[in-house]
Chain A
Amino acid sequence: MDSFIIAPKSPGGLYMESSDANGRILKIILNRTDKGKPATNDEVRRAIDQKLSMEKTELFADDQCDLVIFVQNEGWHKK
């Protein structure tokens, strides 16, 4: 396989095809399904889905700007 397409916004999740032989990566998956192991495919998908998740922590990284400036809330602090 020389190349493939990534389509992040494609409906229905995974959508891939090779540029030189249409559906090459997809075909690999389908082949497995064709071999009578659809459950395996679903399991793989589920396992991968878990690995795709991202959790926001309550920590922020301090940005590396050259100068930090604080501006107080004008209405509250300036009379």
Chain B
Amino acid sequence: MGIALISAPTVTDFGSLEEIHNIQVRASASEPPLGILTLAAVLEETQWAPFIIDLNQTFFDFADAPQSVRRQAEFVDFAASTIARNAADVYGFSTICSSYPLTIRIAGALKAIRPSSVIVFGGPQASVVAAETLRHFPDIDYIIRGEADDSLRMFLHELGCSGNFIQVPGLTYRDGSEVRQNANSPVVKDLDAIPFPAYHLTTYLVGASSASLELGRGCPYACTFCSTNDFFRRRFRLRSPNRVLCDMRRIHTQYKISRFTLVHDMFTADRKRVVEFCDVMENSSDGFTWSCSARTDSVDDGLLNQMWRAGCRGIFYGVETGSQRIQKIINKNLDIDRAKQVITSTERQGIDSIVSLISGFPEETWEDLRETLSVFMYSARHPHSEPQLNILAPLAGTPIHEVHKEQMTLEGLCSDMSHQGKSQDPKNNDLIRAHPKIFPNFYSLPLRNLDRDALFELHEFLMITAKRFKWLLVAINEAYAHILDFFLEWRHDRSSRFPLTEWSAIRHYYRTPAFRSDLLIFIRNSPACSVDSIDALVTFHEKVGVLSSLRQPDDRDYESVQGTVHLAWNEIPFSKYHSPVLELDFDIQEIIEDLKAGVQRAVRRSPHFYVLLNSQDGELSVNRVSDWIGILLRECDGRKNLVEVLKEWSEQVTDVEDENKEYAFVRLLETVSERNLLALRRPRL
């Protein structure tokens, strides 16, 4: 029996050309689908040899295909044809909420091509809407709910033999015109018995810098918005530390990877077992690093220190809301002051953190939102903490959905969890509109107090500004106005200049350079700029904007000069952007130190030079250089030759003896060239 396992698409939201070719979108698509790879490994242990189809890659293949191909078919048909080329008897689709409409459509198109094949769904979304899905979508034959490590094997066995499906736990299937649901499958108690993911069937880890490994399953808590309990039940389980280490070593040996994302909804629920895990990692000499998720009420300084020593370099904290009142309503029950302390402790230990927050709870007031944004900004003022604000999506099967399912409304783009792109496929929307019980995550919950349009725009505003203008945002929040009030001021100004009513238009606007320049102009002209630190940071971003607008000369006209080279004194050096050096009359790091410490004082004015460098993670880091280097780079403007640059430099640099200036100059030239601060190029003859 031929079996194809098909991953759930995660990037098909990004349908526009700019989005498809974005490097972040491409990078996120390379995340291995652990569930599919684990099931493939389970099947390989028996008589089956499954193959894996990655719908993200299929999506990129479609996007990269010639226009003639894209004109003839839409992605659904292209994906179905691609899958069908791999002849199989059973096609097993993994499903998640955001791409569920698309997955159903692809499965339908596949069934049309291969009508005799069996189509099985599994994964988080299909598990919670199994019966409804089978009732409305006849092309889907079976759904295996919950953990399928055992039940998929049993299902395939029954499919190949007697077809006695009543024996298969967790299976939803048709019996004549009836849809039957067998009892839930028991959870896998011994996770060490589950085989190593079938990475060998894919190329995900070839050349990758990190790998995902399953650390355990099941969260013992019962937050009302969260769907994880339906899938993994509430049975907290961990793999043994030695098994995790063994898998890490296996990946390291094969792929030279030393960095791991350890997947578990709530790793730190059992402190004793976290300590056991850390002991094993600390005592190993492998030097692996890893990230995990945790609750802020289950870690403290001591544990964080031990986790750091054991290689932990990143923690995801779901804080969800800064309002103590909403904490109680959603049954999360975190203490906000403690959460803040833990954010600081994590920073102090040298561990990166992501602080995830949610807004859009039906009971949420403006004051609750204000408190949530205070936590957002608290995280933002820690250099290694990244705040995220998400709009609540009512996930199928969650208590919050059950309570409010009759009051949901469909309003275009809703939660970033359900759709991250700038527009939605109309055919998906037709499905969503027709089946709110199957696709509730695309709907909005009622908001008794908040303005939904403002909330949606706030999300777009914050996610962009926290990334692009983090310290400016912190300065505004600390020295001018609470970030919510500032946002409302900005929004009033923005909407008076050009009203945007469509959510897709708002999302698009915030992602364009126009927003960047509009925001800087708005702050420059607002009373906020009377605050020294805000004025300084706006100046910084304005100057970065000017630098970036300078384009490189056409490479065809110039010869790049690298390594050990002869340079004639009459040659003309120039930098990447003619002048990559930023000249500021303040120390930018001193301002950041003040913001981190919550200190407000006048900015001390003195000349400082900075250069921008591409860092490994694709960010443009800002680096302080000496006045000697700064002046040298400034003078290498593409117009002066080396003799003239030396002359200008010598006149401005006064703290070196004349007789040493030429020596110092060449030494500097060497250094800036080595560091790629100065691209030495000469016109081609």
Chain A interface (Cβ < 8 Å from any Cβ of B): 1-10, 14, 16, 19, 25, 28-29, 32, 44, 47-48, 50-64, 66-79
B470→A60 contact, CB < 8 A: yes
Smallest CB gap from A26: residue in B: B663
Asked if B31 and A59 make an inter-chain contact with CB atoms under 8 angstroms apart, the answer reads no
On whether the beta carbons of A70 and B467 are closer than 8 Å, the reply is yes
Contact of A77 with B671 in the complex, beta carbons under 8 Å: no
Bound complex: CA of A67 vs CA of B510, how far in Å? 9
Most buried by A among B96, B390, B512, B626: B626
Nearest CB on B from A35, distance (A): 11
Sample (16) of A-B pairs whose CB atoms are under 8 Å apart: A3-B566, A6-B564, A6-B670, A9-B564, A44-B656, A55-B589, A57-B592, A58-B383, A59-B592, A60-B622, A61-B620, A70-B463, A76-B293, A76-B356, A79-B96, A79-B125
- Decide if B623 touches A78 in the complex (CB within 8 Å): no
Q: Is the CB of B623 within 8 A of A57?
A: yes
Q: How far is the CA of A1 from the CA of B566 in the complex (A)?
A: 12
Q: Is the CB of A51 within 8 A of B293?
A: no
- Select B666's contact among A6, A44, A66, A67, beta carbons within 8 Å: A6
Contact of B540 among A28, A52, A59, A77 (CB under 8 A): A59
A52 to B629, CA, bound (A): 7
Given contacts A5-B567, A14-B667, A60-B619, 20 further A-B contacts (CB under 8 A): A3-B566, A4-B566, A5-B564, A6-B567, A7-B670, A8-B564, A54-B629, A55-B623, A56-B621, A57-B623, A58-B383, A59-B588, A59-B592, A61-B621, A64-B549, A67-B19, A71-B25, A72-B390, A77-B417, A79-B124
Residue of B whose beta carbon sits closest to that of A50: B626
Beta-carbon contact of A57 and B19 below 8 Å: no
Q: Is B38's beta carbon under 8 Å from chain A? A: no
Stretch at the interface among B10-18, B338-346, B365-373, B597-605: B10-18
Which A residues are CB-close (under 8 A) to B31?
74-75
Any chain A CB within 8 A of the CB of B267? no
- Whether A62 pairs with B611 at a CB distance below 8 angstroms is no
CB within 8 Å for A44 and B395 given contacts A60-B619, A62-B516: no
Which of A25, A55, A59 has the most chain B CB atoms inside 10 A of its CB?
A: A59
Residues of chain A within 8 A of B10, CB atoms compared? 74, 78
**Complex CA distance for A32 and B664, rounded to whole angstroms:** 14
Q: How far is the CA of A58 from the CA of B390 in the complex (A)?
A: 25
Determine which of A72, A75, A79 lies in contact with B420 in the assembled complex, contact meaning CB atoms within 8 Å: A72
Query: With an 8 A cutoff between CB atoms, is B298 at the interface?
Result: no
Query: A68 near B467 (CB under 8 angstroms)?
Result: yes
Instruction: List, in ascending order, chain A residues with CB within 8 A of B656's CB.
Output: 44, 47-48
Would A58 and B589 be within 8 Å (CB), given that A76-B316, A79-B227 are in contact? Answer: yes
**8 A Cβ contacts from B541-562 to A:** 541, 544-545, 548-549
* Cβ-defined contact, A69 with B589, below 8 A: no
5 interchain residue pairs of minimum CB distance: A8-B674, A62-B468, A64-B548, A61-B620, A71-B28
Could you say which of B97, B588, B623, B663 contacts A25, with CB atoms under 8 Å apart?
B663
Cβ contact within 8 Å between A66 and B18: yes
A18 to chain B, nearest CB (A): 9
Q: Are the C-beta atoms of A72 and B464 separated by less than 8 Å?
A: no
CB-defined contacts of A3 to chain B, threshold 8 Å: 566-569
Given contacts A3-B568, A63-B548, A78-B96, contact A72 B18 (CB under 8 A): no
B371 → chain A closest CB, angstroms: 22
Contact B354 A73 (CB under 8 A): yes
For chain B, residues 630 to 678, give those with C-beta under 8 angstroms from any C-beta of chain A: 656, 659-660, 662-664, 666-671, 673-675
- Assess whether A52 is in contact with B671, with CB atoms less than 8 Å apart: yes
Q: How far is the CA of A16 from the CA of B564 in the complex (A)?
A: 10
